[in-house]
Amino acid sequence: MKFERTLNPKDEDILDIRNILRQYNAKKFEILESEDFAIYAKDETGKIIGGITGEIFGQWMDIEYLAVDEAYRNQKIGHQLLQEAEQLAHEHKCGYIFIYTFGFQAKDYYPKYGYEEVFRRAHYPITGTEHYFVKTL
Protein backbone atom coordinates (compact mmCIF):
# COMPACT_ATOMS: atom_id res chain seq x y z
CA MET A 1 0.00 0.00 0.00
CA LYS A 2 1.20 3.48 -0.86
CA PHE A 3 -0.07 6.83 0.45
CA GLU A 4 0.14 9.94 -1.68
CA ARG A 5 -0.57 13.56 -0.76
CA THR A 6 -1.49 16.39 -3.11
CA LEU A 7 -2.80 19.91 -2.74
CA ASN A 8 -4.18 19.89 -6.28
CA PRO A 9 -6.14 16.65 -6.70
CA LYS A 10 -7.62 15.75 -10.06
CA ASP A 11 -11.40 15.99 -10.37
CA GLU A 12 -11.61 12.30 -11.24
CA ASP A 13 -9.66 11.35 -8.10
CA ILE A 14 -12.05 13.36 -5.92
CA LEU A 15 -14.94 11.65 -7.69
CA ASP A 16 -13.40 8.22 -6.99
CA ILE A 17 -13.22 8.98 -3.26
CA ARG A 18 -16.74 10.38 -3.25
CA ASN A 19 -18.01 7.26 -4.99
CA ILE A 20 -16.39 5.00 -2.38
CA LEU A 21 -18.28 6.86 0.34
CA ARG A 22 -21.52 6.93 -1.64
CA GLN A 23 -21.35 3.17 -2.19
CA TYR A 24 -21.07 2.70 1.56
CA ASN A 25 -23.83 5.22 2.25
CA ALA A 26 -26.11 3.49 -0.26
CA LYS A 27 -26.42 0.60 2.19
CA LYS A 28 -27.61 2.93 4.96
CA PHE A 29 -29.72 5.68 3.34
CA GLU A 30 -33.39 5.42 2.44
CA ILE A 31 -32.76 7.39 -0.76
CA LEU A 32 -29.71 7.75 -2.93
CA GLU A 33 -30.45 10.46 -5.45
CA SER A 34 -30.08 14.17 -4.95
CA GLU A 35 -31.12 16.92 -7.30
CA ASP A 36 -29.21 20.12 -8.01
CA PHE A 37 -31.22 23.31 -8.40
CA ALA A 38 -30.71 26.93 -9.36
CA ILE A 39 -32.92 30.00 -9.18
CA TYR A 40 -31.92 33.06 -11.18
CA ALA A 41 -32.76 36.74 -10.96
CA LYS A 42 -32.22 38.37 -14.36
CA ASP A 43 -32.33 41.97 -15.51
CA GLU A 44 -34.31 43.17 -18.54
CA THR A 45 -31.48 42.08 -20.88
CA GLY A 46 -31.41 38.54 -19.47
CA LYS A 47 -28.16 39.02 -17.55
CA ILE A 48 -28.01 37.11 -14.25
CA ILE A 49 -27.89 39.66 -11.43
CA GLY A 50 -28.36 37.19 -8.60
CA GLY A 51 -29.33 33.68 -7.76
CA ILE A 52 -29.34 30.65 -5.54
CA THR A 53 -27.78 27.27 -6.22
CA GLY A 54 -27.92 24.15 -4.13
CA GLU A 55 -29.07 20.59 -3.76
CA ILE A 56 -32.21 18.80 -2.65
CA PHE A 57 -31.58 15.51 -0.86
CA GLY A 58 -34.45 13.79 0.86
CA GLN A 59 -36.07 16.18 3.34
CA TRP A 60 -33.28 18.73 3.01
CA MET A 61 -32.62 21.64 0.72
CA ASP A 62 -28.99 22.73 1.03
CA ILE A 63 -28.33 26.21 -0.32
CA GLU A 64 -24.74 26.41 -1.49
CA TYR A 65 -24.68 29.93 -2.94
CA LEU A 66 -26.99 32.91 -2.62
CA ALA A 67 -25.66 36.07 -4.22
CA VAL A 68 -26.97 39.37 -5.57
CA ASP A 69 -24.83 41.71 -7.66
CA GLU A 70 -23.83 44.75 -5.59
CA ALA A 71 -25.59 47.14 -7.99
CA TYR A 72 -28.91 45.40 -7.24
CA ARG A 73 -28.68 44.97 -3.47
CA ASN A 74 -31.18 46.51 -1.03
CA GLN A 75 -34.04 45.88 -3.48
CA LYS A 76 -35.32 42.73 -1.71
CA ILE A 77 -33.99 40.49 -4.50
CA GLY A 78 -32.29 38.24 -1.94
CA HIS A 79 -35.55 37.90 -0.03
CA GLN A 80 -37.44 37.08 -3.23
CA LEU A 81 -34.81 34.46 -4.09
CA LEU A 82 -35.21 32.92 -0.61
CA GLN A 83 -38.99 32.85 -1.09
CA GLU A 84 -38.55 31.07 -4.43
CA ALA A 85 -36.22 28.55 -2.78
CA GLU A 86 -38.70 27.93 0.03
CA GLN A 87 -41.49 27.38 -2.50
CA LEU A 88 -39.30 24.90 -4.37
CA ALA A 89 -38.50 23.16 -1.08
CA HIS A 90 -42.24 22.84 -0.32
CA GLU A 91 -42.89 21.44 -3.80
CA HIS A 92 -40.22 18.78 -3.19
CA LYS A 93 -41.62 18.02 0.27
CA CYS A 94 -38.51 19.22 2.08
CA GLY A 95 -38.84 19.76 5.80
CA TYR A 96 -35.66 21.79 6.23
CA ILE A 97 -33.46 24.33 4.49
CA PHE A 98 -29.77 24.64 5.34
CA ILE A 99 -27.54 27.61 4.52
CA TYR A 100 -24.28 29.04 5.80
CA THR A 101 -22.70 32.46 5.54
CA PHE A 102 -19.69 34.39 6.76
CA GLY A 103 -20.01 36.95 9.52
CA PHE A 104 -19.32 39.81 7.10
CA GLN A 105 -22.00 38.60 4.67
CA ALA A 106 -25.50 37.90 5.94
CA LYS A 107 -25.40 36.50 9.48
CA ASP A 108 -28.04 38.97 10.67
CA TYR A 109 -30.18 38.53 7.55
CA TYR A 110 -31.34 34.91 7.80
CA PRO A 111 -32.83 35.04 11.33
CA LYS A 112 -35.25 37.74 10.08
CA TYR A 113 -36.78 35.08 7.84
CA GLY A 114 -37.04 32.25 10.35
CA TYR A 115 -33.60 30.68 10.02
CA GLU A 116 -32.05 29.49 13.29
CA GLU A 117 -28.30 29.52 13.80
CA VAL A 118 -27.27 25.96 14.69
CA PHE A 119 -23.49 26.13 14.51
CA ARG A 120 -20.67 28.63 14.30
CA ARG A 121 -17.13 27.95 13.05
CA ALA A 122 -14.71 30.56 14.37
CA HIS A 123 -11.25 31.45 13.07
CA TYR A 124 -12.19 30.48 9.51
CA PRO A 125 -10.23 30.67 7.37
CA ILE A 126 -8.05 32.71 9.73
CA THR A 127 -9.98 35.46 11.51
CA GLY A 128 -13.49 35.06 10.11
CA THR A 129 -16.53 33.16 11.35
CA GLU A 130 -18.93 30.96 9.41
CA HIS A 131 -22.54 30.84 10.60
CA TYR A 132 -24.73 27.81 9.83
CA PHE A 133 -28.51 28.18 9.72
CA VAL A 134 -31.50 25.84 9.42
CA LYS A 135 -35.12 26.70 8.73
CA THR A 136 -37.81 24.18 9.55
CA LEU A 137 -40.62 24.35 7.01
Domains annotated for the chain, with CATH where assigned, are 31-136 (3.40.630.30)
pLDDT along the chain (137 residues), means of 10: 94 93 86 90 97 96 97 95 98 98 91 96 95 98
DSSP-assigned states of every residue in 31-95: ----EEEEEEEE-TTS-EEEEEEEEEETTEEEEEEEEE-GGGTTSSHHHHHHHHHHHHHHHTT-S
Quote the pTM value. Answer: 0.85
Longest CA pairwise span in the chain (Å): 58
